[in-house]
Amino acid sequence: MKITHIAIWTNDLERLQAFYCHYFGGTSNEKYTNPVKKFSSYFLTFEHGSCSLELMNKPDLVIPESYALVGLAHFSFSVGSKEQVDLFTSQLREAGYTVIGEPRWTGDGFYESAITDPDGNIVEITI
C-alpha cells in the first residue's frame, strides 16, 4: 500500500500551481474544471516520487480557522543531501518565502527545514 496523492484546498489555484512547479519541479496536468460543481484542480507529479499533489479550488471556498488544528500538519520533499536542504532553504528565503524551521537535525534523526507555501501550508525539506 502507498499514498498516491495529497490534496490541498486553495483560494489561488494558479499561484500555488506555479509555486510547486517552479520551486519543487512539479509537472502539472491540464487544469480540470467541473462547471456544475464550480470546482477546478491541478494534479502535480514530481520526479522520483510516487505521491502526487492535488491543488483544488471552489470560488465559494471557506476554510474555518479551526481546520488548521485538525487537518494536515505538513508534508515533506526530499532533496537528497544536507547541503541541498541548506541551499534550497536559503533560496526559498531569498525568494521571500517564510522559513519557520531552520535546517537542523531532529531528535528522531532527520535533517530538515520547514517553510510555508504561499497559502501558509507547512512544507518540510529533508535529505
Of residues 11 and 21, the one with the higher pLDDT is: 21
Cell numbers standing for residue 68: 488548521
Domain identity same for 47 and 82: no
Beta pairing partners, 75:
123
Domain identity same for 77 and 33: no
CB atoms within 10 A of CB 124: 19
pLDDT in tens, 41-93: 999 999 888 899 999 999 887 766 666 556 678 999 999 999 999 999 999 99
CB atoms within 10 A of CB 30: 7
66 falls within a domain? no
Compute the distance between CA of residue 119 and CA of residue 97 in angstroms, rounded to an integer.
Answer: 11
Of residues 68 and 111, the one with the higher pLDDT is: 111
Query: The domain containing residue 20 runs over which residues?
Result: 1-60
**CATH (domain of 86):** 3.10.180.10
The pLDDT of residue 109 is above 60: yes
Residue-level length of the chain:
127
Cell numbers standing for residue 18: 506555479
- What is the total count of domains within the chain? 2
In the DSSP assignment, the letter for residue 88 is H
